[in-house]
Each structure stands twice: as C-alpha cells, then as structure tokens.
C-alpha cells in the first residue's frame, strides 16, 4: 500500500476508534555497503527499508505502535496496540501532537549528485583506499575493515492537526583500519570520513592518518599510576561528549537523573566552554529543519562561557517546565516513543593548535583513544573510568606512546577543569539524530591508572 493511502485509511480507523489526535512517523530509505579485503570485494550489501510508527491520544494518554509492513492486517494491529498501550500509560505529563505552524528553516542535507554515483565507483574507492593504506608502510600486517557505505533516508511526519513534513538526507562514508606489526607486537588505528559529497573523500589522507597513528603506537608501554595533566584529542572528546550529553536533557533533569537541576544561569563549566546545539550547521551531519515532533529546529547555546543557558526540550518536557520546546524532540528509532536528543552538538573551538596546547601543558598525557564508553562511563553519576591509549608529553613535546592505562574522573568535574581549548574542531560519526564535535581540550588533572 502506498504511504499516503495507508495514512488516510489509518487515520480514518483511528478517528472511528476514538483517538482524539494522531500522527504517523514514517521512515524509508536505502543503503549500500562494501567491504574489501586483499584487493577483492569481501562483503557487499544493498538494502531498502521502511518503518512506520503510529501514535494517538486516547483520552489524555498517548499510545504507540509500529510496523514494517503496510497492509490491512498491520493497520488493525497498529490501532489495537496503540489503544492498549495508551490504556497502560499512567504518567500525567501530557504528550502533544503538534500543529506545526512554524516557519521552517531551509536545511539542505540532500546531495543529488551522490545518488548518481554508481556501485562500481564506490567499490573502486574502497579498493583504492585499501591499496593506498597497504602501500604506506612495510610494517602493515593487514588492512582491516576497509569500508565504503552510503545511504539515503527520508523522514515523513503527518498528523490529524494538519502537520505534513518531509525531510530527505543522504550520506557516504569511508573507513579504514590499519593493523601494523613490529617484533610480534600489533597495533591498530582507524580513520574515517563522513560527508554527502564523494569528492571530499581523500583516500590518500585517510590511509596516511590510519597508518601514521597505528605506527606511532609501536613500542607503547604503560605508565605509573597517578594524577596527570591531560589533553584529550578532539575526536575522543567528541565521543565523551556523546556519552554524557544526556545530563543536558530536560527529561533527565526533571526525573532527578541529571545533577544540573536548578543550575540554569549558573556556572557549570570553566568559562572557556561554550557548548552549542546547531541543527542548522552548514554541512552538519545531523542538520535538520524540524525535530521529530515537527517543531522548527534552531541554533542555541547550551553553555555560554561556562554558564548553563538551557536544557534540551521536547514539547512534553517544555510544557512541564513552562517553557518553549527547543526543537530537540527525537526518537531513538522510528519504533521508539518520543524522547530528546541534540543535533550537531559541539564545544566551540579555541585559538591554539595542538602543538600550542602541548607547550602550554608542558608535562602530561595526550589521550588519543578511549575504550569502553558504553560500560565505563555513567551519565547519571557522571563518573567515568576508561581504557585508554596516547602519548606521554614532556617539555611540550611527544616523548613516547602509552598503552594499557585508564583515565578516570567525573564529567561534571571535568567541565570545570578545562583549562584551554584547541582550534581543531572535529565531528565524529553521526549516530541517531546526533553528531558530536569538539576541539582538543587541556584538562587540569585526571587520574591515570597504569603500573
């Protein structure tokens, strides 16, 4: 069944069944992925998919249901499940179906040229990336995970209040992981590029980055445990921000799961920190004209010079606090209920380059990789203890590589302990509705465990 026909039939049934307001959230897209290994295609996949979520106000409770098939049976199931689910809800904060009379910004996240790139061109790109990576050094043992992938996705929201919004985006990424070996010791490092312009993928540069970094870890040793000054590399800090962003969610604040309760207008970070949520960012990988409730997206400072300016709101949490939604409503997947998430969420860069930060630190540790963010970091407590790699810095310069250490601290404290920011803003791989970015950050002190 065509999506518009399905919607019309579904809405008709919803009305008949006593839903007051209702909405569909529909995603569809296609994706391509190729992995090469030793000059040949290793894995190849082409996919199309779609999913439809229905939600409706039954009494004053919102019921959700979803399906991946659009047929008459699914239609009945959606109505029945949504009704049952609505009746189970006890929360008194009311979810809202939005009228959507906003003026929506123009966000261009679809590149038509990318759709014209055929499979063989992407395969060749992956083959070239592998070849160039291999050619970088005699110490390369293997090239692992040499991937080129692309995708096109469409989001469509339509409801009984007249909202009817559509947004299409596409993306391509290339990734390579180099495995190097010396004296039976193995090290790995990877590099990637995400964009929607294939011309921006520079295989030579990706190869160089992965191999240089992998080689630079050879001979790494642990370090004595203690407190050290630390510089966290831009991409690593972006990942850490991506782990702890939830402390800025109004939902978590309202439920006592963030320690930022009643901190609006207060200093919650070092005054060098300005944290921005920018859904309108030019070439941003999480740029959108509207959020998942259909509220117009806009750019905002979440922290300005260390001061907490706002939490991230959707309609429900905004209503509870008596404020306006910040346009950050988000579903974790099309099937999920409504939550919150940032868009392009990044720490505004400073003026100093990495060498400058090394000089200012003098002696300390440069962290270039952390492991275990999903397990060793807790957004409710802010605590983290993470496996890490990096370099010992002495007299403002790199002394030697370090491995088998952990860095531990607390994110709330870390925000206060940032001394200086680098100028090298970098964004990570987008995930869900968000893309996190940061420059390198110089931190007063973190605990390092090693020998």
Strand partners, 35: 43, 147
DSSP 283: T
Taking the complex as a whole, the smallest distance from the CB of residue 351 to another protein amounts, in Å, to 31
Nearer to another protein by Cβ, of 88 and 103: the residue is 88
Taking the complex as a whole, the smallest distance from the CB of residue 330 to another protein amounts, in Å, to 14
**What tokens appear for 406 in the block?**
């952990």
Taking the complex as a whole, the smallest distance from the CB of residue 35 to another protein amounts, in Å, to 9
Q: Check if the beta carbon of residue 157 is closer than 8 Å to that of residue 25.
A: yes
User: Quick one: CA dihedral 224, 230, 234, 238, positive or negative?
Assistant: positive
Nearer to another protein by Cβ, of 160 and 336: the residue is 336
Nearer to another protein by Cβ, of 180 and 435: the residue is 180
Taking the complex as a whole, the smallest distance from the CB of residue 43 to another protein amounts, in Å, to 5
State the Cα–Cα distance between residues 329 and 334, nearest whole angstrom: 12
Nearer to another protein by Cβ, of 119 and 135: the residue is 119
Instruction: Say if residue 395 is exposed, middle or buried (CB neighbours under 10 Å; 0-12, 13-18, 19+).
Output: exposed
Taking the complex as a whole, the smallest distance from the CB of residue 50 to another protein amounts, in Å, to 6
Number of H helices, E strands in the chain: 10, 20
Nearer to another protein by Cβ, of 47 and 351: the residue is 47
Give 129's Cβ-side CA count (13 Å radius): 35
- Residue 80's φ and ψ, nearest 5 degrees, are -65, -50
DSSP sequence for 35-79: EEETTEEEEEEEEEEEEEEEEEEETTEEEEEEES--SHHHHHHHH
Nearer to another protein by Cβ, of 212 and 336: the residue is 336
Taking the complex as a whole, the smallest distance from the CB of residue 171 to another protein amounts, in Å, to 17
Instruction: Say if residue 184 is exposed, middle or buried (CB neighbours under 10 Å; 0-12, 13-18, 19+).
Output: exposed
Taking the complex as a whole, the smallest distance from the CB of residue 372 to another protein amounts, in Å, to 4
Nearer to another protein by Cβ, of 23 and 403: the residue is 403
Nearer to another protein by Cβ, of 9 and 141: the residue is 141
Residues 6+ apart with CB under 8 A from 108: none
Taking the complex as a whole, the smallest distance from the CB of residue 47 to another protein amounts, in Å, to 5
State the Cα–Cα distance between residues 220 and 391, nearest whole angstrom: 8
User: Quick one: CA dihedral 259, 263, 266, 272, positive or negative?
Assistant: positive
């Amino acid at each position: 069944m065509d999506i518009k026909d399905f919607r019309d039939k579904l809405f008709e049934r919803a009305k008949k069944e006593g839903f007051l307001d209702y909405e569909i959230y529909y995603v569809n897209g296609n994706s391509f992925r190729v992995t090469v290994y030793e000059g040949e295609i290793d894995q190849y996949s082409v996919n199309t998919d779609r999913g439809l979520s229905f939600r409706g106000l039954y009494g004053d409770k919102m019921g959700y249901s979803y399906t991946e098939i659009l047929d008459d049976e699914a239609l009945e199931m959606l109505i029945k499940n949504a009704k049952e689910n609505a009746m189970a809800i006890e929360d008194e904060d009311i979810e809202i179906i939005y009228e959507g009379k906003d003026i929506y910004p123009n966000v261009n996240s679809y590149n038509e040229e990318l759709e014209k790139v055929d499979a063989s061109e992407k395969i060749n790109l992956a083959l070239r990336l592998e070849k160039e990576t291999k050619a970088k050094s005699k110490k390369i043992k293997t090239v692992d995970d040499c991937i080129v992938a692309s995708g096109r996705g469409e989001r469509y929201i339509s409801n009984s209040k007249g909202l009817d919004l559509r947004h299409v985006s596409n993306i391509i990424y290339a990734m390579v992981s180099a495995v190097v070996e010396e004296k039976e010791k193995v090290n790995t490092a990877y590099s990637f590029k995400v964009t929607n312009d294939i011309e921006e993928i520079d295989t030579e540069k990706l190869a160089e980055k992965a191999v240089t970094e992998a080689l630079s870890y050879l001979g790494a040793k642990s370090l004595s445990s203690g407190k050290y000054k630390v510089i966290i590399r831009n991409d690593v800090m972006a990942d850490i921000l991506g782990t702890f962003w939830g402390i800025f969610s109004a939902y978590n604040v309202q439920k006592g799961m963030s320690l930022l309760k009643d901190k609006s207008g207060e200093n919650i970070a070092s005054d060098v920190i300005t944290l921005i949520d920018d859904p309108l960012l030019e070439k941003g990988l999480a740029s959108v004209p509207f959020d998942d409730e259909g509220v117009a997206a806009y750019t905002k400072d979440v922290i300005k010079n260390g001061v907490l300016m706002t939490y991230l709101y959707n309609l429900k949490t905004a209503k509870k606090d008596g404020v306006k939604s910040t346009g950050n409503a988000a579903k974790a997947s099309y099937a999920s209920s409504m939550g919150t998430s940032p868009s392009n969420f990044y720490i505004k860069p400073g003026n100093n380059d990495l060498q400058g930060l090394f000089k200012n630190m003098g002696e300390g540790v440069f962290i270039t990789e952390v492991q275990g963010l999903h397990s060793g970091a807790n957004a409710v407590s802010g605590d983290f203890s993470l496996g890490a790699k990096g370099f010992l810095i002495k007299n403002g310069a790199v002394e030697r590589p370090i491995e088998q250490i952990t860095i531990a601290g607390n994110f709330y404290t870390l925000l206060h302990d940032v001394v200086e920011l680098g100028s090298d803003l970098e964004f990570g791989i987008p995930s869900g509705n968000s893309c996190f970015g940061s420059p390198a950050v110089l931190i007063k002190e973190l605990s390092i465990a090693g020998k």
